[in-house]
Amino acid sequence: MRALAKTSAGRGLELVERPEPKTGPGDVKIRVLRAGLCGTDLHLEQWDDWAASTVRPPLVIGHEFFGEVVEIGVDVSTVKVGQKASGEGHIVCGMCRNCRAGRRHVCIRTSSVGVNRDGAFADFVVIPESNVWVHPDNLDPDVGVLFDPLGNAVHTALSFPLAGEDVLVTGAGPIGIMAAAIARHAGARFVVVTDISDYRLCLAKGAGADLVVNVNNQALSDAQLELGMKEGFDIGLEMSGSPIAMQDMLRNLNHGAQVAMLGLPKDPFPIDWSKVITHMITIKGIYGREMYDTWYAMSSMLQTSASLSETVRSVITHRYPAEQWQDAFSTARSGECGKVVLDWS
């Protein structure tokens, strides 16, 4: 089979021929039809310090995918050959305290598809039955491939009640854009998105943001005045990993505001803890998706709202055949894009 792999330590990837992965008794083999590029994949291709300390080549990368089930293990009972599916990319131990308490998304022994085990930038990927998310047969593959990053957006956005609230999203990458769409769908009053890329802010506006702010050109406080806001934002969704964005968010929050942080900063940075304390601001870290409440929530929302489904699909701005993976990675690195998808069909 074709596979995009990190064949050795160092920069770069190779499209190679590898044997098909074997299916164990409790496993499911999926023929990959679409695969999405994530920031994690860019880190692995560039072989930065995080990648070098985490990954052991050779490894097939990629964890955002949609495909068709082609083989099941002898112990599999809930998944059938021919079904369309995506996969939860975090393989958990099932036995640590968090797993046994139903908090599998914070398992202390998580193994990640495409990082710690072979992933989905290939013709086939194998994952445990419990990690398979079966889709309706008529689901658009361009929606199915987004379930992993959409899950990040849903987990972050639905961390706090949104109805009637003023919501600030810092970072207009694909996940930030989808989080803005979820906030709009969930009944937020105002949804404001900040970034430094006009291209991505345009995508956010199309996804339902009331106002988009290029913080290189406009102060967030001025945006509040434009909307007639008098007390600051009630909910903050930090998607950028930027220290400057986080500091700007804290300056523009209402007392008692709640913040969910998904964006990963490159380095530690200081924040004004006195403001967090005296303004009674709640800050919650977000990692991945709640297994599997988030999956149920996003499936239900998409099934009941054609407009939300189309908005989510709109974050895909570039599609490439698998053989043009270098162009796909170059586009993703440029920042002048939304979600970039590889076609493996």
In this structure, the answer to whether residues 139 and 10 fall within a common structural domain is yes
275 and 160 belong to one structural domain? yes
In-domain check, residue 300: no
Task: Tell me whether residue 40 is one of the annotated catalytic residues.
Answer: yes
Same-domain check for residues 85 and 169: no
Q: What's the token pair of residue 49?
A: 């310090």
Tens digits of per-residue pLDDT, 164-208? 999 999 999 999 999 999 999 999 999 999 999 999 999 999 999
How far, CA to CA in Å, does 25 sit from each of 60, 68, 71, 79, 158? 22, 18, 11, 13, 36
What is the CATH classification number for the domain harbouring 275?
A: 3.40.50.720
- 173 shares a domain with 45: no
The catalytic residue among 43, 90, 135, 155 is 43
Say how far apart CA 65 and CA 343 lie, in whole Å: 10
- One domain, residues 258 and 330: no
pLDDT at 266 over 90: no
Would residue 262 count as lying in a domain? yes
**pLDDT tens column, 317-341:** 999 999 999 999 999 999 899 999 9
**Cα 293 to the chain's mean position, in Å?**
15
82 backbone φψ class: left, alpha, beta (φ>0; ψ -120 to 50): left
Active-site choice (23, 40, 304, 318): 40
Given this model, what pLDDT does residue 154 score?
Answer: 98
User: Do residues 48 and 98 make contact, with C-beta atoms less than 8 angstroms apart?
Assistant: no
CA pair distance 125, 145, nearest whole angstrom: 14
- From 154, 136, 151, 207, select the one nearest 36 (Cα to Cα): 151
Residue 303 inside a domain? The answer is no
pLDDT level of residue 289 (50, 70, 90 thresholds): very high
Residues 252 and 278 in one domain: yes
133 and 161, same domain (yes or no): no
Asked if 118 and 159 sit in the same domain, the reply is no
Helix (H) or strand (E) holding 2, with range, is: strand 2-6
- What mean pLDDT comes out for the span 125-142? 96
Average pLDDT over residues 86-95: 97
* pLDDT at position 114: 98
Flag whether 41 is in a domain. Answer: yes
Measure the CA–CA gap between 149 and 152, rounded to whole angstroms. 5
Report the mean per-residue pLDDT for the chain: 97
Q: Pull the structure tokens for residue 104.
A: 């599998």
The span from the CA of 326 to the CA of 330, in Å, is: 6
Whether residue 96 lies inside any domain: the answer is yes
Asked whether residue 141 falls in the same domain as residue 174, the answer is no
3 state SS of 42: helix
**Interior angle at CA 168, CA 231 and CA 333, nearest 5:** 155
In percent, the amount of the chain with pLDDT more than 90 equals 99
What CATH number does residue 12 fall under?
3.90.180.10
- Domain match, 13 and 138 both: yes
Number of domains in the chain: 2
Residues 136, 157 share a domain: no
Does residue 60 fall inside a structural domain? yes
Residue 27, Cβ neighbours under 10 Å: how many? 21
Is 278 tagged catalytic?
no
Please indicate, yes or no, if residue 305 is contained in any of the structural domains: no
* pTM higher than 0.85: yes
Which pLDDT does position 326 carry in this prediction?
Answer: 98
Identify the domain containing residue 220 by its residue range: 151-285
